[in-house]
């Protein structure tokens, strides 16, 4: 079987790679054709062609028709697949729209923790990675993100608790882009704020005010023999946990199955999907692809960014309870 796709990054991580790995375990994977920079994610395949310069949010155009799970939110009847092993399945069945439950019969996550185990990407203190995003989404300007003041408070808390911090916010020049990321570049978006006594700064400049906070970009630049993704895969394997934005920014760290506090706010569609995180009785949606990838995920649901616009008190409390 030949896998040939170029969907959004998060979709490739969730739907394509686990299918490719399942095929590999069955002795049926012949070749993977993917986007530039994705070879290390397919470490288990000896025949990988990094063909695509761009990704697309159009799943049909991305070649997803040949993948068993071709839509990341799944289908309403999927919960019934687990009726013999999941007592709470009925609370997630027949919802109006998919709630993230996939058919996992041909789905297996590669063991990135073992593959990228290393003692090179280490620090003198426990490490937390913060993965932020400031992108256009489906034609709309950035809405859900960790702003400068929120980052300031997170940096202060973590460094005072004795952590090193690596801050990641892609500039959308590091990898093949989809339409949302192209829009971000074209609109020259950058995350800034006026800081009293300092003036206008961006989030990258904020990092420079801390001895124990590092930019991922600076770490990448120190390892020119490795690709951007190879650095991330090695570095992320050695962290204590992650603080992330929803979407692909969360799904990537989740493959290492560490404690991950993920902010879901703004216009992310997961917020409004019925039973996406739990059913009406409060039962956790453990067959949601998020939890199947990382049982240690801690989603913080902030509909309409109410908490983020009100001093993000509860989000910070969640971080403090976790780290």
List, run by run, the mean pLDDT of 10-residue segments along the chain (323 residues).
95 97 98 96 98 91 95 92 96 88 98 96 96 76 82 97 96 67 70 85 94 97 96 97 91 97 85 91 96 97 88 95 98
Token pair 């996406």 is at which residue?
A: 276
pLDDT at 5: 97
Secondary structure (DSSP) of 162-215: T-EEEEE---S-SS-B-HHHHHHHHTT---EEEETTTEEEEHHHHHTT-SSEEE
CA atoms within 13 A on the CB side of 65: 4
pLDDT at 24: 98
CB-based contacts of 122, cutoff 8 Å, min separation 6: 238
Q: What's the pTM?
A: 0.93
Which residues, in sequence order, are bridge partners of residue 263? 245, 300
pLDDT at 211: 96
Where would I find the H helices in the chain? 9-11, 17-25, 112-115, 148-160, 179-186, 203-207, 216-221, 228-236, 248-254, 289-293, 313-322
Q: What does the CA dihedral 247, 244, 12, 103 come to, rounded to 10 degrees?
A: -70
User: In terms of DSSP bridges, do strands 127-131 and 48-52 run parallel, antiparallel, or are they unpaired?
Assistant: unpaired
Token pair 């993000």 is at which residue?
A: 312
Neighbours of 119 (CB within 10 A): 6
Cα angle 64, 268, 242 (rounded to 5 degrees) comes to 90
Q: What is the CA radius of gyration of the chain?
A: 19
86: helix, strand or coil:
coil
């Amino acid at each position: 079987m030949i896998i040939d796709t170029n969907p959004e990054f998060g979709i490739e991580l969730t739907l394509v790679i686990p299918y490719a790995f399942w095929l590999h375990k069955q002795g049926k994977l012949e070749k993977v054709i993917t986007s530039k920079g994705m070879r290390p994610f397919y470490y288990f395949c000896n025949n990988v062609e990094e063909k695509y310069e761009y990704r697309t949010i159009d799943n049909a155009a991305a070649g997803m028709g040949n993948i068993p799970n071709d839509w990341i939110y799944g289908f309403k009847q999927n919960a019934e697949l687990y009726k013999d092993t999941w007592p709470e399945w009925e609370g997630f069945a027949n919802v109006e729209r998919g709630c993230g439950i996939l058919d996992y019969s041909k789905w297996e996550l590669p063991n990135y923790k073992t593959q990228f185990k290393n003692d090179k990407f280490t620090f003198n203190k426990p490490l937390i990675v913060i993965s932020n995003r400031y992108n256009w989404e489906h034609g709309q300007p950035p809405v859900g993100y960790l702003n400068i003041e929120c980052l300031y408070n997170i940096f202060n808390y973590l460094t005072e608790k004795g952590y090193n911090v690596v801050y990641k916010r892609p500039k959308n020049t590091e990898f093949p882009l989809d339409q949302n990321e192209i829009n971000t570049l074209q609109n020259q978006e950058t995350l800034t704020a006026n800081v009293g006594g300092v003036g206008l700064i961006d989030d990258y400049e904020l990092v420079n005010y801390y001895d124990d906070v590092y930019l991922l970009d600076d770490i990448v630049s120190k390892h020119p023999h490795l690709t951007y993704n190879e650095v991330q895969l090695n570095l992320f394997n050695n962290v204590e946990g992650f603080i992330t934005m929803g979407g692909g920014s969360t799904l990537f760290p989740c493959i290492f199955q560490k404690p991950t506090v993920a902010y879901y706010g703004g216009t992310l569609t997961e917020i409004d999907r019925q039973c996406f995180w739990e059913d009406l009785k409060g039962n956790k949606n453990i067959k949601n692809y998020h939890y199947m990838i990382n049982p240690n995920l801690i989603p913080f649901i902030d509909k309409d960014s109410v908490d983020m616009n009100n001093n993000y008190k509860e989000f910070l409390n969640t971080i403090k309870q976790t780290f």
